[in-house]
Amino acid sequence: MTLIRPHSPGCVLILLCFLLSKCGSLYAQNNSPGHRVGHQLAEVDPGRDSLDIDSQNESIRIRYTLATQIPSESERILLLRGPCAIQQGSRTWNAPKAILWQSKDMVGSGGRIVLFLDHTPEISPVMIEQGHRETRPHFLIALESQAAIQFSGPEPVVVPNAGSDPTFLKAIRKRNQYAGEIQLAQHSEVAQFPQGPELPPLPTNTLYRRRVKIGPRFLGGRIQAKADFIENSLQPEYVITVTGGVNIVINNVPLTLNGQTFLTNIDLSADKAVVWTDADRVDQLSGFEIDENTPFEVYLEGNIVVRQGANKIKAGRAFYNISQRRGLLLDAEIRTQIPEYEGAVRLRASEIRQSSATNFHARNAYFTTSEFGHPKYRIEASDIFLEERPSLFNTTIDPATGLPNSNTMWITSHNNRLYIGDVPVFNSPYLSGPAEDPHIPVTKFNVGYSSIFGAELETGWDLETIFGWDLPDGTDLELEFDYFSLRGPGIGLSGDYNTQGTFLGRPVKHSGFGHLYYINDGGNDVLGEGRRNLNVPDDNRGRILFRNRTEFSPFTNLFAESGYILNNDRNFLEQYFEDEWDRDKDLENKLLLEHQQNNVSSSLLGAIRTNDFSNQTDWLPRADLTILGQPVFNSPVNWSMHSSIGYGRLQQGESPDDPMVDPYIPLDYYADSEGLVAMSRHELTLPFNAGPFKVVPYVLGEVAHWQEDLTGDELTRWYGSAGVRSSIQFSKYMPHVQSSILGLNGLAHKVVYDLDYYFAESSEDMDRIPQYNAFEENAQERFRSRFQFLEFGGVLPEVFDPRLYAVRSGTGRSVTAPYHELVDDQHALRLGMHHRWQTKVGALENPRIVDWMELDMGITYFPNADEDNFGEDFGLLTSRYAWHVGTRTSILASGAVDFFDMGQRVFNIGFLNQRSERGSIYFGYRNLEAGPIESQLLTTSLSYVMTPDLYVATFGASYDIAEGIDRGQSLTITRITENFLLHFGLGYDRSKDNVGVAISLEPRFGSFGRGSMRMNSLLGIE
C-alpha cells in the first residue's frame, strides 16, 4: 500500500475540506496595494488596517517585558510582550504585544524595521503624538533611522515553535497586504512571507534536500530499531522497524499551495513505525538526508499525532508514500486554527485518502468548531472530495515564475446533514465550492409571529455553496425565501463584495453591495397610529438596490448607485425595511467621480430620480471644484473656494392616491424647477494670535444663478458675509485631587470660549429659491408632510419651517456647505463654551488621559431679532453634559431651547451603567415641547447575563408621562451554546398596535457569520 508524500499538501492533510485549504489560502493573501502615509493617515477601506511609514532619522527606542525570537534564516523576528512601547521623535506607540521584523545584517545598527502592534480583549494599541491619541485594533508601522535601534528588555529567547503563535500568524497576513510598501531598505525585491516562520516561495523545479530525524517520542525515552533487506520486492529495499514510541521529524519539506511552493517542517509521532527506503539507515536515525527521488514510505500505528505549524492530526493508523504522493489515514481527526474565525475547526473521518498531489477523499466525515468529544453542532457527509481546479476569478501570481496561477482548491461533498445536537436540521445531497468556504448553506433562519405580518418565516441560503459556483474572493451571494401568513411569500437576492479587479486595463478595487426583493403582498400596510390600514397600490411589491465604490487610487474614486421601488410603492420601505427607511440614505440613481489630493477636490455627478413619490433632483450633469486653505501669494491670508455648475431638474414628489387616508401636503420649496444651476463661493481669512486669543477675521462672497426659480423666472443672487471668529483657552491642573470612588487620579480642567460674529446680506429672498440640494432625508420629509396636515391644516407656521431653522443655525454658511441655498440676510453673534475635566487611568507606567466630565454650551444673539429670530434677542440655546463617574458608569444630558412662542424646548437626561462582562442598564427621561407637540417619555433598557455562559436577557420599555400611555416594550432571551445563539423575543408597539414574537438561530462560528464570541451587541457594548 502507498500513502502521502510529505512535500505535498497531503502530507498532513491540512488542506482537506474547509479547514485544510483555508490555511493554504492565507498564504496567497499578498501583493495587496497599500497606502503610503507619513504623519497623517490615509483613508483606509473598512476592514483593512492602514500602514504608517515614518522615514525620520531620529533614534528608535523599543521597550518590552518579554521577547521570543522566531527562527528565520533571512530576518530577525521578535515576538514582544508588554507593555510594549515604541518611540521615535514625537511619536509613541503603546501596545500589549508586538511582532518586529529586522534584517539580520542590520542588527546592532540602524535601518528600517517593521512592527505589527496587536490588541488584547482589555487593551488596544494607541499612537500618541503631541497630545493627540489614536486607538486602533492593530497598527502596522515601518520605521527608519540611521542611528542604532535601542532595545530595553530581557534578551530574546529562541523558541522553535513560536511561528504558530496566533499574533504572528495575524501579523504575517497584515504585512502581506502591504508587502510592496514595507520591503526592507536593503532588499531589491519584495519578499513574500507565508504563514509561520518559513522561507519565501521556492522555484517549482528545484530538487529539495530534506533532512529526516527519527528518535524517541518522549524526552528520556528509548527506541528499538532494526533493518531488514528485502530483495524479492519489485525494487530491492530496506525495511526499518521502530518501536518503543517514535518521533519522526522531516525538515525542509516543500509544501505546494495554489501553484506556489514553500518550505515547512513535519512532525510525526506514533507508538511504532515501519519505514521503507533505499538504504540501511539504522545507524543514521539521528539525522540523514533524502531528496525528491529517494524512496521513503512510512507506516504509523498507535496514538498517531502529526503536527505542522498550528495544525494537528490524530489517527489510529496511517501510511505515507513520499515518492508517489499517495496516502491513507484511518480513524483520523484533523484540528486547525483559523485566525480569521477566532477559533479551531475539527474534521473527523473514518478514512482519509490521497490519490495524487492535489486530490483527496474523506469518507464518513464531519466537521465542527465544537470542543466537545461529541459535538453539539456538526456538518456530516458520506464523502468529501478535495481537488485543485482552475478558477475563473481568483488568480494569484507565482513569485518564482512571475506567471499567473488560477488554480484553487475545490471541495465537493455528498449526502450532507447539518446537526444541532442530535437533530438534523438541514439535508442536501450535494454541495460544492471553494475549500476555504465554511460550507454552511443556511445563513439565516428566523420564525415568529406579529399582528402585522402573521406567522413569519425568514431564511437565507448561500448560493456559492449550494450550486458550487466559483465566485471572486471577497464575494458573498445569498438567496432569501420568506413567508408571512397575513401578507404572502417573498423572495430576495443579496450580495456584497470587496475584490481586486481591473478597469480599462488598470488595477482597481471594487466594493459594494446589492439587494433585490419581491413579495406578493395580499395585506394592508400598518405604519403607525392613524395609518394602520393603508391599501397597497399593487400586490406585486419589491425594490432594487445597488451601491458600488471603485477605487482607482487613494485619491480617486467612482461611486455608482441605483435604487428603485417597484410600482412607485411609497410605503414599501417603511413597512418592510423600517430601520433602513429611518436611518439609511435615500435611494438614488447616480454616478459620482471624485478626486481629492492635498487641499483640492473635484467631482462630476450625474443623477436621475428613482421614484415619482420622492422629492429629488436630476443632475445632467454637475461639476464641483473645492480648494481649501490656499495661501495667497505666500501671505498670511488664506483663500478657500467652492464652485459648481450643472443642469438640474428638481421634481416634487407625487401625492398618495388618497391624501386623507395617508395624510400628505407637498413641500413647496421642492416645486418643479429646471435649468442651469451655478454657484461660486469664496472666503478669505487672516488668522493671527492676539496674546492668548486666536483671531480669524474673514470675508465671504458668493454669486449664484438659477435658470428657473420657484416662480419660473431666472434668478441671480449675490451673497456676502463678513465677520470674525475667535477663541481663548484656560486650563488648571490639580494633581493632588485623588478619589478611588470617583475614579480620579489627578484632575485637569480645560475650557475653551469661542465666538463667531458676522453680518450677512443677500440680494434675493430665500423664498424664491428651489431646494435643488436636499438637506433632509425622505423619512423626515414624509413626516413633515403629515405633520403640516394633521397639526396645522396644511399651513405651516414659520417657526416650524425647516429652511428658516437651517438659516438661523448657520447651516449653509460655510464654504463647503452642501446646500448653498440656505443663506439669507442675517446679523448674529454665536457664543460657545466647552469644558473638559480630565484625569488619568491605566497602569502607572503607561497611564492615559480620559475625559472625566464634559460640558458644552452655546447660544446665539440676534441684534435684528424681529427679522432673524421671531422677535427674541437670544435663541438656539444648546447644551450637552456627560459625567463619566467611572469606566462603567455615566450620567448624560442634553438640551435645546428657543425662547419665542411655540419654540423648541427639548432636553434629555439619562443614566448608563456598563458592566462589560455582565451587561448594561440605561434609564432616561426626554422632554419635548414644540407648539402642539408635547411628550415626556421615560425609557429604560437592560442587558444582563442571567446565568454565566448560558442565558442573556435584554429588555426595553418606554412610557409617555404627558399622555399617560405606554409606548411599548421588548424582551429578548438568548440561549448561549458553544456553536450558536438561540433568540426568543417578545415585543409590543402601541403606535402600530402590534404584538410580536420571534425565534431566531444565529451561528456562533468564531467571528464568522452573524454570531459573536463576545456578544457585545447583546450586552450593549460598543
pLDDT digits (tens, 9 = 90+) for 285-314: 878 887 767 788 889 998 888 876 666 788
Position 910 scores a pLDDT of 94
Please, which pLDDT band fits residue 10 given cuts at 50, 70 and 90? Answer: very low
- Strand pairing category for 60-63 and 150-152: parallel
The least confident of 353-362, 415-424, 487-496, 652-661 is 353-362
User: How far is the C-alpha of 713 from the C-alpha of 386, rounded, in Å?
Assistant: 72
What nine digits make up the cell of 755? Answer: 465666538
Distance in angstroms (rounded) separating the CA atoms of residues 822 and 845: 52
Inform me whether the pLDDT recorded for 671 exceeds 80.
yes
Answer for the pair 170, 193: CB distance below 8 angstroms, yes or no. no
CA neighbor of 517 nearest in space, from 488, 559, 476: 488
Residue-wise pLDDT for 966-1018, tens only, equals: 888 888 888 877 666 788 888 888 888 888 888 877 665 544 443 343 444 44
User: Is-contact 355 331, C-beta < 8 A?
Assistant: no
* CA 513 to each of CA 49, 236, 507, 565, 648: distance values in angstroms, whole numbers, following the listed order: 21, 63, 20, 17, 28
Q: Is 404 helix (H, G, I), strand (E, B) or coil?
A: strand
Q: What pLDDT does 409 receive?
A: 65
Q: What are phi and psi of 581, to 5 degrees?
A: -60, -40
**C-alpha grid cell for residue 966?**
405606554
Under the banding of pLDDT at 50, 70 and 90, the label for residue 650 is very high
Q: Is the pLDDT of residue 352 over 70?
A: yes
Element (H, E) at 793: none
Q: What is the mean pLDDT of residues 517-535?
A: 91
Question: 213 — phi, psi (to 5°)?
Answer: -130, 125
252: pLDDT strictly greater than 80? no
Q: Are 495 and 508 in contact (CB under 8 A)?
A: no
What the block records as the C-alpha cell of 978 is 458553544
What the block records as the C-alpha cell of 334 is 484533523
Among 56-70, 494-508, 636-650, whose mean pLDDT is lowest? 56-70
Task: Say whether pLDDT at 564 is over 90.
Answer: yes
pLDDT confidence of residue 872: 95
pLDDT at residue number 516: 97
State the average pLDDT over residues 628-638: 93
Cβ atoms of residues 932 and 947 within 8 Å:
no
DSSP 887: S
> If we measure between CA atoms, which residue out of 543, 544, 474, 538 comes closest to residue 512?
474
**Apex CA 527: angle with CA 525 and CA 530, to 5°?**
105
Burial class (CB in 10 A: 0-12, 13-18, 19+), 384: buried
**Cell numbers given for 945:** 447575563
Across residues 926-934, what is the average pLDDT? 89
Q: Give the integer Cα–Cα distance in Å for 615 and 652.
A: 5
Distances from the Cα of 732 to the Cα of 565, 670, 816, 1021, angstroms: 58, 52, 36, 33
pLDDT band for position 873 (50/70/90)?
very high
Spatial CB neighbours of 178, under 8 Å, sequence gap ≥ 6: 32, 33, 34, 51, 140
Go through 667-696 and write b for each residue having 16 or more CB atoms within 10 A of its CB, e for each that does not. Answer: bebbbebbbebbbbbbbbbeeeeeeeebee
Helix axes 166-177, 17-27, angle to 10 degrees: 50
Question: Do the beta carbons of residue 925 and residue 893 sit within 8 Å?
Answer: no
User: Does the pLDDT value for residue 604 go beyond 90?
Assistant: yes
Find how far residue 476's CA is from the centre of its chain.
Answer: 15
| pLDDT tier, 387 (very low <50, low <70, confident <90, very high otherwise) | confident
Query: What integer pLDDT is reported at residue 9 of this predicted model?
Result: 31
Least confident of 39-48, 215-224, 492-501, 702-711: 39-48
Q: What Å distances lie between residue 685 and 375, 600, 642, 812, CA to CA?
A: 69, 17, 15, 18
CB-based contact 807:874 (threshold 8 Å): no
Are the C-beta atoms of residues 825 and 758 closer than 8 Å to each other?
no
Q: Parallel, antiparallel, or unpaired for β 237-243 and 600-608? A: unpaired
The answer to whether residues 339 and 169 touch, using CB atoms and an 8 Å cutoff, is: yes
Cβ–Cβ under 8 Å, residues 677 and 706:
yes
The cell for 195 is 504563514
CA distance 925 to 51: 44
Per-residue confidence at 207, pLDDT binned at 50, 70, 90? low
pLDDT in tens, 118-175: 887 667 788 887 667 778 888 888 888 777 788 888 888 877 677 778 888 888 878 8
Look at 622 and 76; give whichever has higher pLDDT. Answer: 622
Query: Under the phi-then-psi rule, with left for phi > 0, alpha for psi from -120 to 50, and beta for the rest, what region is 415?
Result: left
Q: How far apart are CA 533 and CA 575, in angstroms?
A: 12
Residue (of 920, 916, 918) closest to 949 by Cα position: 918
pLDDT for the residue 390: 65
The secondary structure of the chain in percent helix, strand, coil, rounded to multiples of 5, reads 10, 55, 35
Q: How many CA atoms lie within 13 A of 675 on its CB side?
A: 15
Q: Which pLDDT band, with edges at 50, 70 and 90, does 402 fall under?
A: very low
User: So what's the pLDDT on residue 880?
Assistant: 96
Secondary structure in 3-state letters for 724-767: EEEEEEEEEEEEEEEECCCCEEEEEEEEEEEEEEEEEEECCCHH
The whole-angstrom separation of Cα 126 and Cα 51 is 14
Going from the C-alpha of 497 to that of each of 433, 491, 547, the distances in angstroms are: 17, 21, 11
- Phi then psi dihedrals of residue 779, to 5 deg: -65, -40
pLDDT for 578 beyond 70: yes
**What's the mean pLDDT in 873-878?**
96
- What is the band of 185 on the pLDDT scale with cuts at 50, 70, 90? very low
Q: Are 45 and 62 in contact (CB under 8 A)?
A: no
SS3 21: helix
CA atoms within 13 A on the CB side of 42: 20
β-bridge pairing 60-63 and 75-88: antiparallel
Q: What is the pLDDT of residues 951-970, one digit of tens each?
A: 888 898 999 888 888 888 88
Q: How far is CA 402 from the centre of its chain?
A: 32
How does the average pLDDT of the chain come out, rounded? 81
Q: How confident is the model at residue 16, as a pLDDT? A: 36
* C-beta separation of 169 from 196 below 8 A: yes
- Is the pLDDT score of 251 beyond 60? yes
Give the per-residue pLDDT at 369.
67
Are residues 762 and 825 in contact, defined by beta-carbon separation less than 8 angstroms?
Answer: yes
Which residue type occupies 840?
A: K
Question: Which pLDDT tens digit goes with each residue over 779-835?
Answer: 999 998 888 888 888 888 899 999 999 999 999 999 999 999 999 999 999 999 999
Phi, psi of 333 (to 5 degrees): -135, 130
Mean pLDDT of 678-703: 96
Please state, for a pLDDT cut of 70, what percent of the chain lies above it.
80
Q: Residues, the chain, total?
A: 1022
pLDDT reading at 31 higher than 70: no
Q: Where residue 465 falls among pLDDT bands split at 50, 70, 90?
A: confident
- Residue 91: the pLDDT is 84
Q: Please report the pLDDT score of residue 212 as a whole number.
A: 85
Q: Within its chain, how far is the Cα of 378 from the centroid? A: 28
Distance in angstroms (rounded) separating the CA atoms of residues 492 and 514: 11
Reported as a single tens digit per residue, the pLDDT across 68-118 is 888 887 788 899 987 888 888 778 888 889 999 887 666 666 677 889 998
pLDDT over threshold 60, residue 393: no
* Cell numbers placing 296: 521513503
List the one residue out of 25, 34, 183 whose CA is nearest residue 500: 34
920 to 742, 850, 908, 910, 913: CA distances (angstroms): 19, 21, 19, 13, 6
> Which one, of 190, 262, 256, lies nearest residue 21 by Cα?
256
Q: How far apart are CA 284 and CA 287, in angstroms?
A: 6
pLDDT at 51: 65
Q: How far is C-alpha 641 from the geometric centre of its chain's CA atoms?
A: 34
